[in-house]
Structure 1
Amino acid sequence: MKLKFLLSLCLTIGITHANRINIINNCPFTVWPGILGSPNFETPENGGFQLDAGQSREITTQEQWSGRMWGRTGCDESGHCVTGDCGNKIECAGAGGVPPVTLGEWTFDDPNVPGVDFYDVSLVDGFNLPMRITPTGGNEPNGGGPYDCTSTGCPVNINDNCPGELQQTDGGSVVACKSACEAFNDDVYCCRGEHNQPETCRSSDWPVNYPQMFKDQCPEAYSYAYDDNKSTFTCKRSPSPSYDVTFCP
């Protein structure tokens, strides 16, 4: 009897303190969410599943968890996807998505800042789908400001305005928009080599300021590697925080 009570208590505590992410497909087509835990963290749902138009699905993570999520499009029965492919499989099982992809990123209960969640929508690896992250309950403001426990994302379809040199096409249609790093593999655009510091990698100094194109359309989203101060959002944790992730919000 005592063992059953303790087991029930542990399960209750685990549920109470789990982070909930409700994934919503508001697109008029099927999306295959991909999920990847950061090193030393679990990967929920073994990394992916199918979500038909209009469907939603809730996943949970460890109380302290870091990872990312993206949407894949045009997947076939073998698991190969036109965008966001993770190795020709529906369950990505520890593999990341092939750029260009729109990324949702979280660090729940950051050990460096206990009691605080960090989240963002990133276009650093390019864009394939509109995405929004919204705190939906169990979250509290963390001191005020424009990046304090509010919705963030990229709700517009950047593919419609993607420069020709960044376009990824399939069957004549633009299905994704590459980052400048992905398109040109240049140290300047990739913020690497002698350009691997915020002071030496400013998009305003680039030959073409491609991140500004992303930023103009999605001002809340990360546009390149050193865009932290205008793209990172935080929430103060409560016992059971939850977030909505909406594709095509």
Structure 2
Amino acid sequence: SSMAGRALPALVSVVVFFISVRDAASKSFVITNNCEYTVWPGILSSAGSAGMDSTGYVLAPRQSRTMSVPTGWSGRLWGRTLCSTDDAGKFTCVTGDCGSGRQDCAGGGAAPPATLAEFTMDGSGGMDFYDVSLVDGYNLPMLVAPQGAAAGGNCEPTGCLVDLNGACPADLRVAPASASGGVACRSACEAFGSAQYCCSGEYGNPNTCRPSAYSQFFKNACPRSYSYAYDDATSTFTCPGSDTAYTITFCPSTTSRPANNLTASPSDRVRVHAVL
């Protein structure tokens, strides 16, 4: 009996360990590249949050990858485009680059402009909070859709399905010399740096920081996405946190075009409103 007594704590530890591992990976992201070009997803975990099993990798056209999401995870995910490796082995991307010099972002965030999916799992009231943000600009269409969620919350798909690069105002457009047309669309904050557009200084609260003509461009095209810093009311979504998984799709429209020639056709817009 004394041997059994000594073995019991070890057995309990093993059981607790397996329960902890199961709970720590109870959710998932299914990340799909539906674009006709390669996309390199980047992932940044918030300070104090458990890390994901990767911080960046490559997805060829029509390729998917499933990632386990730790309980309580918060962070952001985006797509990088037009990436290459130079003769010295340094990896860089024209849009969404995270500055690591490698495919994995290793704690680096997206250089704007970039379309961002933002998550806080198992937050207040046990809910998952998520949004798609254009506050840091836009580089490619993205859809976030909850799967298998229980009833409750504002648990709906969100994102920006329209290709905005072709329609981007000229003073916000990013058009590298090597590309024919825009490859990304900057926010007014990044383009002009003023407190009014950046919601800083005397404009650092929701009463003084209001939508601008530039943020309205993004909002009109993608009404469920964050268009400026205080765009919470129509842009934050919540799902019961217990069994919800999320699909994250780049270029959700089946008629997506190459990254350096993105324009939205009327048929694209019809599909956008059908999904959202």
Q: TM-score, normalised by structure 2?
A: 0.81
Q: CA deviation at 1:44?
A: 1.5
* Aligned-partner residue type, residue 244 of structure 2: P
- The 5 A counterparts of 1:49-64 are 49-64=57-72
Does residue 1:241 correspond to 2:244, yes or no?
Answer: yes
Q: Which residue of 2 aligns with 1:118?
A: 129
RMSD after superposition: 1.7
Does residue 1:101 correspond to 2:114, yes or no?
Answer: yes
Q: Any unmatched runs of 5+ in structure 1?
A: none
Contact 1:35 1:43 in 2 (8 A): no
Q: CA deviation at 1:4?
A: 6.6
**1:10 paired residue among 17, 34, 37:** 17
Q: CA deviation at 1:237?
A: 1.9
Q: Which residue of 2 aligns with 1:152?
A: 158
Spell out structure 1 runs of 4+ moving beyond 6 A: none
CA deviation vs aligned residue, 1:78-97 (integer Å, no higher than 9, x gap):
32001000112210010001
Contact 2:78 2:117 in 1 (8 A): yes
Q: Tell me which protein shows more strand as a share of its residues.
A: 1
Q: CA deviation at 1:141?
A: 2.9
**1:90 paired residue among 100, 103, 106:** 103
SS in 1 for 2:36: coil
Aligned mates of 2:16, 2:60 — CA distance in 1: 36
Contact 2:117 2:131 in 1 (8 A): yes
Contact 1:201 1:226 in 2 (8 A): yes
CA deviation vs aligned residue, 1:37-77 (integer Å, no higher than 9, x gap):
01111332341011111110011122111100000001112
Contact 1:85 1:98 in 2 (8 A): yes
* Aligned-partner residue type, residue 198 of structure 2: C
Question: Which is further off, 11-20 or 178-187?
Answer: 11-20
Question: Which is further off, 39-48 or 69-78?
Answer: 39-48
Q: CA deviation at 1:140?
A: 2.0
Contact 1:101 1:127 in 2 (8 A): yes
Q: CA deviation at 1:186?
A: 0.5
* Aligned-partner residue type, residue 85 of structure 1: D
**1:142 paired residue among 148, 152, 159:** 152
Question: Which is further off, 9-18 or 128-137?
Answer: 9-18
Which one has the largest radius of gyration?
2
Q: Which residue of 1 aligns with 2:201?
A: 193
Residues matched between the structures, number: 237
Q: TM-score, normalised by structure 1?
A: 0.90
Q: Any unmatched runs of 5+ in structure 2?
A: 1-6, 253-276
Q: Which residue of 2 aligns with 1:211?
A: 215
- The 5 A counterparts of 1:16-95 are 16=23, 18-77=26-85, 78-87=90-99, 88-95=101-108
